[in-house]
């Protein structure tokens, strides 16, 4: 493949992808999707290589700290972490560098998701691209940091069930899977209200509808938090549910502001909502 061909792969979107009817051809959609995936993959690869370089001791200490903190909080419980196989250390290094790369590159691949959706929005709505790019990454980091903060408490509760006279052996691969799920669940969950705003910008859901279904959103958030958190303690559930609810309320406020700025009334999404919930 020539250099110009490679550049075309990353360029993705043609110069004038949207026709006079406001639509984009399927081939242009696929070309842009390919370009977005390639850009996100290249950025992930760079972050992955950096993760391999700083694996020992920085990343390794980072993943061990929650376990060490939980271990220190349980002086009466004998617990020890171990690696089960000869290839375990290498596999652990690759997995840890991969997870670190996903988190570190999150602002970039989140932006690629939003940039792929932008052509479907009106021109006056595309200014939200920069806002999304500026907010999505920090919110994901906030979710990951919250998960990292509550992780020692969850480990303390789980390891604390060890009966007296027995030693708790923590296989490091299983611990890392638990660690990863905890952080990614918090990070992705914190992004859900932001995607609600995206749906509002796309005209799928209105601020009025969010307000109408607010009680169900609250119940659903607590159910989601109870199911999604790998640990069984209520502290982790609350630390996931409460920030999500605050972000949902903020999303509703922003959605209502967007609706007012558009002049959206009963003839748009709200009319559909009224029909959907009206009694038979």
- Nearest-angstrom CA–CA distance, 257 and 207: 8
pLDDT at 19: 52
Is 208 domain-assigned?
Answer: yes
Cα of 219 vs its chain's centroid, Å: 21
Residues β-bridged to residue 80: 169
pLDDT tens per residue, range 77-122: 888 888 888 888 888 889 889 988 988 888 888 778 777 766 655 6
Q: State the total domains in the chain.
A: 1
Q: How far is CA 198 from CA 45, 124, 157, 219, 254, in A?
A: 28, 14, 37, 22, 11
Is 55 domain-assigned?
Answer: yes
CB-count exposure of residue 156 (10 Å: 0-12, 13-18, 19+): buried
Would you place residue 23 in the very low, low, confident or very high pLDDT band (cuts 50, 70, 90)?
low
Q: Give the domain range for residue 108.
A: 28-264
Give the whole-number percent of the chain exceeding pLDDT 90. 14
Is 278 domain-assigned?
Answer: no
Mean of pLDDT over the chain: 79
pLDDT at 266: 40
- Nearest-angstrom CA–CA distance, 58 and 51: 9
Least Cα distance to 28 among 14, 42, 40, 15 occurs for: 14
């Amino acid at each position: 493949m020539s250099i110009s061909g490679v550049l075309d792969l990353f360029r993705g979107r043609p110069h004038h992808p949207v026709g006079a009817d406001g639509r984009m051809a399927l081939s242009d959609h696929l070309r842009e999707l390919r370009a977005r995936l390639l850009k996100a993959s290249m950025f992930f690869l760079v972050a992955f290589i950096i993760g391999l370089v700083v694996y020992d001791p920085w990343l390794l200490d980072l993943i061990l700290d929650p376990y060490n903190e939980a271990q220190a909080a349980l002086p009466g419980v004998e617990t020890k972490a171990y690696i089960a196989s000869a290839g375990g250390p290498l596999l652990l290094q690759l997995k840890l560098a991969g997870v670190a790369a996903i988190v570190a590159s999150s602002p970039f691949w989140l932006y690629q998701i939003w940039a792929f959706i932008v052509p479907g929005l009106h021109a006056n709505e595309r200014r939200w691209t920069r806002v999304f790019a500026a907010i999505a990454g920090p919110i994901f980091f906030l979710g990951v940091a919250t998960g990292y903060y509550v992780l020692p408490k969850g480990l303390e509760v789980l390891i604390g069930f060890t009966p007296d006279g027995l030693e708790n052996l923590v296989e490091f691969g299983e611990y890392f899977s638990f660690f990863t799920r905890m952080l990614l669940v918090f990070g992705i969950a914190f992004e859900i209200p932001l995607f609600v705003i995206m749906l509002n910008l796309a005209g799928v859901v209105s601020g009025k509808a969010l307000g109408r279904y607010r009680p169900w959103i609250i119940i659903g958030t607590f159910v989601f938090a109870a199911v999604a958190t790998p640990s069984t303690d209520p502290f982790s559930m609350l630390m996931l549910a409460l920030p999500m609810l605050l972000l949902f309320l903020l999303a509703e406020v922003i959605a209502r502001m967007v609706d007012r700025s558009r002049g959206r009334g009963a003839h748009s999404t709200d009319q559909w909502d009224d029909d959907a919930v009206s009694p038979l």
